[in-house]
A and B are shown apart, each in its own frame.
Chain A
Amino acid sequence: DAGITQSPRHKVTETGTPVTLRCHQTENHRYMYWYRQDPGHGLRLIHYSYGVKDTDKGEVSDGYSVSRSKTEDFLLTLESATSSQTSVYFCAISEPWRTEAFFGQGTRLTVV
């Protein structure tokens, strides 16, 4: 298995609170991604990073921010959690172009 660790694996939080999810890799891959997966929508890209301090938005970035201060760590922050952000969040890593993405175990987030 690719060396990708997500933490926490499960979290329940209250509406309006900030939440940070962490993705840690040991593969030294350049690209890191945050996806959310919801029934009927598949995997949707939230944000991605193509290097330290280099990030860009995906298709569902509203309400989320990211940071990457080290190659191995990519943080996803929900600035003020809402019930619509209840989802399963996956981190993925890859190298540029003709390579595959490898996924972490996922974080199940429930906002109540």
Chain B
Amino acid sequence: QKEVEQNSGPLSVPEGAIASLNCTYSDRGSQSFFWYRQYSGKSPELIMSIYSNGDKEDGRFTAQLNKASQYVSLLIRDSQPSDSATYLCAVNTGNQFYFGTGTSLTVIP
């Protein structure tokens, strides 16, 4: 079983819609959770971090964490074409980061 699993997509949403990205993890001892955005040919860029159960909002982005269900999600409101990228879920188990394979998002103008 992989440490971090994501729906690989691809996911397509119209401009202005809400994009929902999901991730599950296997290590119950994980304490730090992250979402990265990666444009084609570029390096991953951190967009959200979350450490406690519940929601964390930053602009158009909301991260949700449910440790009991071992589930992390990312909502992107008012999606823009510039949000088109691959989104990586990451979990820190103490001294290592585990990454999902990513979900490809396309926002259609």
Contacts and interface: CB of A to CB of B under 8 A. Distances in A.
A74 interface: no
A94 B97 contact: yes
Interface in A74-112: 90, 92, 94, 96-106
Contacts of B43: 90, 103-106
Interface residues of A, number: 26
Contacts of B102: 42
A43 B95 contact: no
Interface string B64-102: 000000000000000000000000101010111111111
Interface in A36-67: 40-43, 45, 48, 50, 56, 58
Contacts of A33: 96-97
Contact of A100 (B34, B95, B100): B34
Nearest to B95: A50
Contacts of B90: 101
Contacts of B62: none
Contacts of B95: 31, 48, 50, 56, 96
A95 to B, nearest CB: 11
Interface size class of B (residues with CB under 8 A): 20 to 34
Contact of A43 (B51, B92, B99): B99
A48 B96 contact: yes
Nearest to A90: B43
Most chain B C-beta atoms within 10 Å of own C-beta, residue among A42, A98, A101, A103: A42
A98 B92 contact: yes
Given A45-B96, A48-B95, A92-B97, A99 B44 contact: no
9 contacts: A45-B96, A56-B95, A92-B97, A94-B97, A97-B92, A98-B31, A99-B32, A99-B92, A100-B46
